[in-house]
Chains A and B, each alone.
Chain A
Amino acid sequence: MEWETVIGLEIHAQLATRSKIFSGSATAYGAAPNTQANLVDLGYPGVLPVLNVEAVRMAIRFGLATGARIARRSVFARKNYFYPDLPKGYQISQYERPVVEDGSLEIVLDDGTRKSIGITRAHLEEDAGKSLHEDFHGLSGIDLNRAGTPLLEIVSEPDLRSAKEAVAYMKKIHTLVRYLGICDGNMQEGSFRCDANVSVRPQGQPEFGTRAEIKNLNSFRFVERAINYEVERQIELVESGGKVVQETRLYDPDRGETRPMRSKEEANDYRYFPDPDLLPLAIDDAMIESARAGLPELPDEKAARFVRDFGLSDYDAGVLTSSRELADYYETVVGRLGGQPKLAANWVMGELSGALNKDNLEVAQSRVGAESLAGLLARIADDTISGKIAKDVFEAMWTEGRDADAIIEAQGLRQITDTSAIERAIDEVMTGNPRQLAEYRAGKDKLFGFFVGQVMKATQGKANPAQLNELLKRKLGG
């Protein structure tokens, strides 16, 4: 039996507004418990919600960036259920008439093909607070700082057919919301959360199978593993005569498996109805055009431009545009270098990214700025140092914070490009290694590398490799 996997993702992106969606409380992460929860956030008797304009603008930007329809009138609805982190006993969300509908996003699969993934809707809603379970002797502690933070819930069509596609889509959304400046994408802090709806069906069957929802996956790796596990589980279940139950499950990263959530014993009847405390949200052409005018160059556009203008491969362009900060860094380097886009690409994707990852830093926190890196690359381009030496220089720049020229000077790392100096070194090595010389001339070609190595050693690695190769070939040839 051939099985097909069907996945839809629901992504909750916390919008990067200064204040909450319905109150003027701050949204900054990490404040002491309940110090950023005012009467509205706490659901006190008599208080009322008032909508934050920036949350609306951010939703519009997302809609425009995904080619979606922006609703001219959308409605806020109450989703009613009881939970301690939900102070009013209902969440203000959008139900029948969301602000954004019918968008799409293109992902690139492993084999390079492109696939369009539908975005059914994106709507505005408020986040709930947090429950803390430790330290309270059988009690939970509720912190409502997060209650009322604006969320954009982004719902995909069930167009995804594998865990890899799901991750590609999730990464694309992650990049996009950061490009748009609407969400910081920080999954550790909970600003970007993903639920996956997973089902399987026999290949060729038009009806969807029963789906299970896996909640709160907060890393790309977990999403991939959880989906793979869940698909396996469902297939095994059905193949052994069982039926998939529609339920909510949690992913346990330690065990690498999904489990049903204990607290949701029965399906909740949310009793959605339009929130009478809020009037319909009206969005006019002026607001949409203003948002459109303020859109940055989007990731796909930028990647295409990199391919076109810098001659980069799709893959390289994709990596370099995976964040706006990285793309801007790269362009600054190329700009300063006045060319050499491929050299710059290799270094940004290679040494720079490696150093950032090792020290767990964001691009913005890089210890070597774009201008500085350009300075180093210029010295490779003008043959002052070799690429190999440059890597050492870079490391020194990273740890010491000095620029390339200062380090090259201080350590005397200039390449030797003087032909006669190189020839002299070659002559010495040839004289000092008569046996290898004879063997090479007798036909043992691979000894060429030996001679390269010896000359490099003799010149402390500073011989210009291209010149060395040419001269060595000539001299060894006899």
Chain B
Amino acid sequence: MRRRARKPRNLTIAATFGKARCMICVGFFPSREPFSMSLTRAQVEAIAHLARLQITEAQMPVYVDSLSRIIDFVEQLSAADTSGVDPMAHPLADQVQRLRPDEVTEADRHEKFQHNAPSVAAGLYLVPKVIE
């Protein structure tokens, strides 16, 4: 098996801050500010923590900007008239959950599964100590 050599990822976002090419028109293509701050840094930090994602100091302003743009963009939804409309639970409206019989169908395959696990001992997955 041959695998592709890894190429460095493209981080041009910071470089074109505020000068994004955009298509401006009504309907599908709403006009946008070139720079947006609808989310604060504190909010982005809180979100990153909730999502357990480490964002470095250098990356933070980029994420604040791009997330703000995205939230600004989806703000359009607030103008839609959805009075009396139910949220869509599933694309296929009449389907209900299938119920499976109460049977044991699985055999023990933990060795196969743990073969590639990052850290295992005595059949247990190891993590830094959990404090109660």
Q: Do chains A and B touch in the complex (CB under 8 A)?
A: yes
> Which residues of A are at the interface with B, using a C-beta cutoff of 8 A?
17-19, 23-26, 32-39, 42, 44, 50-56, 73, 75-76, 82-84, 131-133, 136, 138-144, 250, 261-263, 269, 271, 274, 276, 278-282
A28 and chain B: residue at smallest CB distance: B104
Are B97 and A282 closer than 8 Å at their CB atoms? yes
Are B105 and A19 closer than 8 Å at their CB atoms? yes
Known interface pairs A140-B127, A141-B125; 10 further A-B residue pairs with C-beta atoms within 8 A, sorted by A's residue number: A24-B104, A34-B110, A36-B108, A42-B113, A54-B102, A136-B126, A141-B121, A142-B124, A143-B124, A250-B132
Are A26 and B106 closer than 8 Å at their CB atoms? yes
Contacts of B50 in A (CB 8 A): 269, 271
Q: How many whole Å from A43's CB to the nearest CB in chain B?
A: 11
Q: How many whole Å from B19's CB to the nearest CB in chain A?
A: 35
Given contacts A82-B52, A140-B128, A142-B125, contact A24 B96 (CB under 8 A): no
B52 and chain A: residue at smallest CB distance: A82
Are B104 and A35 closer than 8 Å at their CB atoms? no
Contacts of B4 in A (CB 8 A): none
Are B105 and A24 closer than 8 Å at their CB atoms? yes
A-B contact count (CB 8 A): 125
Given contacts A39-B113, A262-B132, contact A23 B127 (CB under 8 A): no
Contact with A along B108-132 (1 / 0, CB 8 A): 1110011000010111111111111
> Which residues of B are at the interface with A, using a C-beta cutoff of 8 A?
50, 52, 89-90, 95-106, 108-110, 113-114, 119, 121-132
Choose from A34, A73, A82, A271 the contact partner of B124 (Cβ within 8 Å). A34
Contacts of A269 in B (CB 8 A): 50
Contacts of A23 in B (CB 8 A): 106
Are A263 and B130 closer than 8 Å at their CB atoms? yes
B123 and chain A: residue at smallest CB distance: A33
Choose from B52, B104, B123 the contact partner of A18 (Cβ within 8 Å). B104
Q: When chains A and B are docked, how far (Å) is the Cα of A386 from the Cα of B96?
A: 66
Choose from B52, B106, B127 the contact partner of A24 (Cβ within 8 Å). B106
Are A52 and B102 closer than 8 Å at their CB atoms? yes
Contacts of A38 in B (CB 8 A): 106, 109
Are A132 and B124 closer than 8 Å at their CB atoms? yes
Contacts of A140 in B (CB 8 A): 126-130
Are A17 and B102 closer than 8 Å at their CB atoms? yes
Are A33 and B52 closer than 8 Å at their CB atoms? no
Are A139 and B126 closer than 8 Å at their CB atoms? yes
Contacts of A262 in B (CB 8 A): 131-132
Given contacts A39-B113, A263-B131, contact A32 B123 (CB under 8 A): yes
Q: When chains A and B are docked, how far (Å) is the Cα of A99 from the Cα of B50?
A: 29
Contacts of B121 in A (CB 8 A): 136, 141
Q: How many whole Å from B132's CB to the nearest CB in chain A?
A: 6
